[in-house]
């Protein structure tokens, strides 16, 4: 990467880090990033500073919420004592994240999961989001072809959606209904009558976390089909975390978290599918047309994009099974940085329309999550099938 590009990105990261240190919600955002990034993946010269900040933020943001505060939130949400609604509430949390805490409970004789937003977090984030405007200048300088103000506005809107658990409940309900009879995917049903802005209740799901699955390859492949296939459904989850994915006793993959999600334009999904097909055929002209229509890259950069991406991804972008793990991510990163001129040219020419910000986040976190646990599958073929056929895509374990 050229020295000028490094300076621009360095300035952007510097401003972002200063904002994160000065705003409580910034620490939460860093903690969320720390869940999906391996420290070794972050390139120099930014690696050491970012890794230190991520670690400190995660330690501070994941402090358990005391049971008394959880009970106060539930009382305020429902207008009565939690014991008037729930048969039981386990005092020990089953999950504590930077944004929420989950407890097992019993409702009308059936086990449920009760998710509670961290008290005061939504109000703090609403105030802190005003500071994001300070990123406009460095963001536009680092990536001159993007709509910086549009991206910042999109970021603000999606983050506020993510902190509204009633909104999440409605999203989860749509996914539950759509996958009610699916052969290998499932989503727990939310109890919508108990959903509030800071409370979400849904049916309890037993299962083995993705990282502990006996057939990790098959489980990771099913997660890819769920995530990418959701584009055909019309709503894309944007925060896949292995901790929120369970292999249920009946063999289905259960996805638990829908806080980060965005509706997508199905026509754009079709154009994205055409771009992937063109890439798979190594057809630079068709790829250039699709990328230009999506406003991701001018048409005259199609050949360079095809060459650089295919070279960087290596086996991951070829037919047949490939290993996706931390070593594979490091290899992709290093191959990209071995071609600084081409990388810089694409960074300066490329854009990301605001409506694609959350889908792009979801896709990057998907492959990052899979890489953290390590799995082997025909990734290119699976992605093509899921983008083309949605949740009907066939999943086969690699030989």
Distance of CA 294 to the CA centre of its chain: 21
Distance of CA 14 to the CA centre of its chain: 23
Closest CA to 391 of 239, 175, 217: 175
Sequence-distant (6+) residues with CB within 8 A of 217 are 375, 376, 377, 397, 398
Instruction: Give the Cα-Cα-Cα angle 339, 344, 346 (nearest 5 degrees).
Output: 100
Distance CA(255)–CA(248), nearest Å, equals: 10
Residues 164, 217, 239, 356: which is the catalytic one? 239
Q: Would you call 10 a catalytic residue per the annotation?
A: no
Sequence-distant (6+) residues with CB within 8 A of 236 are 227, 230, 261, 262, 263, 264, 358, 359, 362
Tokens 């999600």 locate to 261
Q: Are 74 and 112 in contact (CB under 8 A)?
A: no
Tokens 């600084």 locate to 340
Q: Give catalytic residues, as residue numbers.
A: 239
């Amino acid at each position: 990467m050229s020295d000028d590009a490094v300076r621009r990105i360095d300035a952007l990261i510097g401003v972002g880090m200063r904002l994160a240190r000065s705003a409580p919600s910034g620490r939460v955002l860093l903690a969320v990033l720390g869940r999906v990034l391996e420290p070794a993946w972050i390139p120099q010269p930014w690696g050491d500073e970012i890794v230190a900040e991520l670690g400190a933020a995660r330690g501070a943001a994941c402090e358990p919420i005391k049971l008394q505060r959880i009970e106060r939130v539930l009382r305020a949400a429902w207008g009565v004592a939690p014991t008037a609604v729930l048969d039981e509430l386990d005092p020990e949390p089953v999950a504590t994240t930077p944004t929420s805490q989950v407890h097992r409970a019993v409702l009308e004789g059936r086990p449920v999961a009760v998710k509670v937003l961290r008290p005061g977090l939504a109000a703090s984030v609403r105030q802190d989001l005003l500071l994001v405007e300070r990123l406009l200048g460095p963001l536009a300088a680092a990536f001159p072809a993007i709509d910086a103000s549009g991206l910042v506005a999109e970021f603000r809107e999606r983050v506020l959606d993510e902190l509204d658990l009633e909104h999440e409940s409605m999203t989860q309900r749509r996914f539950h209904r759509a996958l009610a009879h699916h052969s290998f995917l499932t989503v727990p049903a939310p109890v919508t009558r108990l959903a509030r802005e800071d409370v979400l209740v849904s049916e309890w799901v037993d299962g083995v976390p993705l990282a502990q699955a006996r057939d990790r390859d098959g489980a990771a492949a099913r997660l890819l089909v769920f995530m990418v296939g959701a584009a055909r459904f019309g709503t894309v989850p944007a925060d896949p975390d292995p901790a929120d994915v369970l292999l249920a006793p009946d063999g289905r993959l259960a996805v638990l978290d829908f806080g980060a999600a965005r509706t997508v334009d199905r026509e754009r999904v079709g154009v994205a599918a055409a771009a992937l097909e063109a890439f798979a055929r190594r057809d630079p002209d068709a790829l250039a047309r699709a990328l230009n229509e999506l406003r991701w890259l001018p048409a005259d950069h199609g050949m360079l994009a095809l060459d650089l991406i295919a070279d960087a991804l290596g086996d991951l972008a070829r037919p047949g099974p490939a290993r996706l793990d931390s070593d594979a991510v490091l290899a992709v990163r290093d191959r990209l940085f071995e071609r600084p001129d081409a990388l810089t040219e694409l960074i300066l020419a490329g854009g990301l329309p605001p409506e694609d910000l959350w889908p792009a986040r979801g896709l990057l976190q998907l492959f990052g999550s899979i890489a953290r646990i390590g799995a082997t599958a025909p990734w290119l073929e699976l992605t093509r099938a899921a983008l083309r056929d949605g949740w009907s895509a066939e999943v086969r374990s690699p030989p």
